[in-house]
A and B are shown apart, each in its own frame.
Chain A
């Protein structure tokens, strides 16, 4: 019996908004240029993450690709992180290019700006997907075949869109309430589509690595590669194990000291010990296995929190006020023909900005449960809205009615 691990890593960094005040609005438009040493300084962050995560992880991934001809993986890399790597960590960008040069690393399609545009403006969404495709073609010489939406936010509409847009597959969370008795370890087809396939994240196995790996209170700690391979081998019926996670799992969320890199190093060897076991990219698994069933997801499902919905981004009034204000500017921004203005507007669409405004953990006092460069969600909101006001100012300077 043939079985494949489908390892998919997501790479992203936003352009964080600095402490941008109302006194800056109308004066300077440098929302994303925090001073050196500031927690919102994007250059500092991308350099730190490159050093702690991207460079060491890519070095190990390249070793694995060289040692094991069977080893393969998939990645998505947003336009906003690619730009920042080009500018501030070019050696890290080259290390990604070295991986794709092996021909065994597939890049997954998404929005350039890691936005929630799908839910607000289909026109803008498609523009960002096109921008991302061009960037990937330019830097990696490949054209993505499989789509993932920001935060893995998925519903029937997204599948329908991706099908019509010609993608062979789309990624989503394998959430129990949607799957029911079915498991995530197969290829599926979304309802109301003709050709496209659906790959569902096995969140239990993925989170064992991404979240629980370094937790010494976890009964399965320490997790070794042979134990993990054993679990997969013992799973009765499965064709593919979809291990989807943030790239920063390696070295950033799970520090080097947890042994995460050793785990990664040994996993291919342990998994490939058994005949029939393999690694596949997202396209390959779709080419190799027929869909076993159709999956209906009318509601939007994401890969976040226990709710698996968009509430971490759009769950409170600040978040919805900010995002609707931003998309209300769309026509005026695009008609301005000012590419700096358009790009700033797009950078503000990145979902992280709305995540920083989330109050559901802040109110619980559990502020360590999420990553934010701001003191509190309100500071994030105020900085964002001041940047919004400055966009309004720039539009008015161009004669737009604001």
Chain B
């Protein structure tokens, strides 16, 4: 089985969960004898050998330099020496043309494209090679726009591609419903395949936490509440800060750790100051590796207050690192996780109520964690890969796969 995988990011050059999910599902598929060539819009060394990673450069481009985030402008350096900054829609088109050229000299059995940035490229590739096209929806424009309608250009791409696709994979029932509502796609065409977690990644925790200050404060009776993620409108962090003010009023020894960066970074810092809780809210910026892991580990509770979260892998990561979660009901992960606290993203006072309960009661915290951990152990990317493989086979004529 040969799969042409079209994606926008892979770790470590990822800005969020999309890259992580692509990485793990490819890895799990590769263990089931699936040959994968993953086409990225930028060049980055990929050191593992479970799949081939190829950069799709626009014609004549020698180097494509990504900014810190996969969703910023990229700089294209051409062979004739001239340079050009290209925005996200422009990159998406450049990627489409580059993929169309690339596929001419390749053979594969199925095309699997992840999110709108790769959808046009997927359609072009199918046009050239006439093999099934599966679109994997990790989020739709409504999610990214925090419940607003978002960018009409993006909606047009999603609407067209989803109607033309041979099959659609949605990361949750929540996302499947949203696709049906927003784009009128028949429900039968959409398969829900939940994301999972990589259990191997949880082994790396060591005993010496990078947040020495927070550890010292915990010894003084403080409790720590953490959010890890991009600081964008979709993530609902203003409501977490408003809830934090209520929590701190009742439980002054509560510290909130906000790990991540994004377009709301400055706004959230000002909001915390405006709410008078700057002493209790710590902004770390974007973190990787040990400091990222220790952000979960140092906390007593992880809160994901997302306005809209098609799946939301971070609560699972948090549980893996030993910290239970409070998640918004408007999240896909809520469909696979029962042993956690759940709240409507807009219900600030209930959010505050639940956070206060945990920071004032270690017993509640520990009970949540023990049970959530058992649930987590039952999830695996292996099962996710089985579902995808079955889906590929449904669309490939018997005996056609190499």
Contact = CB atoms under 8 A, between A and B. Distances in A.
Interface of A: 21-23, 25-27, 316-318, 320-322, 325, 359, 376, 378, 381-382, 385-386, 388-390, 392-393, 396-397, 402
27 contacts: A22-B213, A26-B212, A26-B214, A27-B213, A317-B273, A318-B269, A318-B270, A318-B278, A320-B273, A321-B279, A325-B279, A359-B270, A378-B269, A381-B269, A382-B283, A385-B278, A385-B279, A385-B282, A388-B279, A389-B213, A390-B213, A392-B213, A392-B217, A393-B212, A393-B216, A396-B216, A402-B217
B282 A22 contact: yes
A325 B278 contact: yes
Given A26-B212, A321-B278, A393-B217, 4 more contacts: A388-B279, A390-B213, A393-B212, A396-B220
Nearest to A388: B279
Nearest to A362: B266
Taking each of A320, A359, A385, which has the highest tally of chain B beta carbons within 10 Å of its own beta carbon?
Answer: A385
Contacts of A389: 213, 282
Contacts of B249: none
Interface in B268-306: 269-270, 273-274, 276, 278-279, 282-285, 291
Contacts of A381: 269, 273
B165 interface: no
B50 interface: no
Contact of A22 (B270, B276, B284): B284
B266 A26 contact: no
A390 B214 CA distance: 10
B211 interface: yes
Contact of A382 (B214, B269, B274, B291): B269
A396 B213 CA distance: 10
Nearest to A21: B284
Nearest to A25: B213
A320 B272 CA distance: 12
A244 B276 CA distance: 37
Nearest to A363: B266
Contacts of B274: 317
A370 B285 CA distance: 25
A129 B273 CA distance: 30
Given A26-B212, A321-B279, A325-B279, A378 B273 contact: no
Interface string B223-237: 000000000000000
Interface SS of chain A: helix, strand, loop or mixed? helix
A23 B210 contact: yes
A382 B270 CA distance: 11
Contacts of B183: none
Interface string B242-278: 0000000000000000000000011001100110101
Contacts of B279: 321, 325, 385, 388
Contacts of B217: 392-393, 396, 402
Contacts, number: 69
A23 B285 CA distance: 12
B216 A26 contact: yes
B215 interface: yes
A376 B278 CA distance: 18
A285 B216 CA distance: 57
Contacts of A316: 270, 273
Contacts of A386: 282
Contacts of A385: 278-279, 282
Interface SS of chain B: helix, strand, loop or mixed? helix
Contacts of B214: 22, 26
A27 B208 CA distance: 12
A66 to B, nearest CB: 53
Nearest to A400: B220
B266 A376 contact: yes
Nearest to B210: A23
Nearest to A23: B210
Given A316-B270, A317-B270, A390-B213, A23 B278 contact: no
Given A321-B273, A378-B269, A26 B282 contact: no
B123 to A, nearest CB: 40
A393 B213 contact: yes
A25 B213 CA distance: 5
A396 B214 CA distance: 12
A320 B279 CA distance: 11
A383 to B, nearest CB: 11
Contact of B276 (A321, A322, A376, A390): A321
A23 B211 contact: yes
Contact of B215 (A26, A321, A322, A397): A26
A199 B45 CA distance: 67
A42 to B, nearest CB: 23
B278 A322 contact: yes
Contacts of A320: 273
Nearest to A27: B212
Nearest to B295: A22
Interface string B197-222: 00000000000001111111100100
Contacts of B284: 21-22
Nearest to B283: A382
Contacts of A388: 279
B274 to A, nearest CB: 4
B211 A22 contact: yes
A107 to B, nearest CB: 37
Contacts of A325: 278-279
B307 to A, nearest CB: 23
A318 B216 CA distance: 25
Contacts of A21: 284
B93 to A, nearest CB: 30
A22 B270 CA distance: 18
Interface string B69-86: 000000000000000000
Contacts of A27: 212-213
A359 B266 CA distance: 10
A23 B216 CA distance: 12
A336 to B, nearest CB: 16
B291 A23 contact: yes
A360 to B, nearest CB: 13
Taking each of B214, B278, B285, which has the highest tally of chain A beta carbons within 10 Å of its own beta carbon?
Answer: B278
Taking each of B266, B274, B283, B285, which has the highest tally of chain A beta carbons within 10 Å of its own beta carbon?
Answer: B266
A377 to B, nearest CB: 8
A317 to B, nearest CB: 4
Contact of B220 (A321, A322, A402): A402
A25 B212 contact: yes
B8 to A, nearest CB: 27
A382 B285 CA distance: 10
A373 to B, nearest CB: 18
A23 B214 CA distance: 9
Contacts of B278: 317-318, 321-322, 325, 385
Given A22-B282, A318-B270, A321-B276, A378 B212 contact: no
User: Top 5 A-B pairs ranked by shortest CB distance?
Assistant: A317-B273, A26-B212, A26-B213, A25-B213, A321-B278
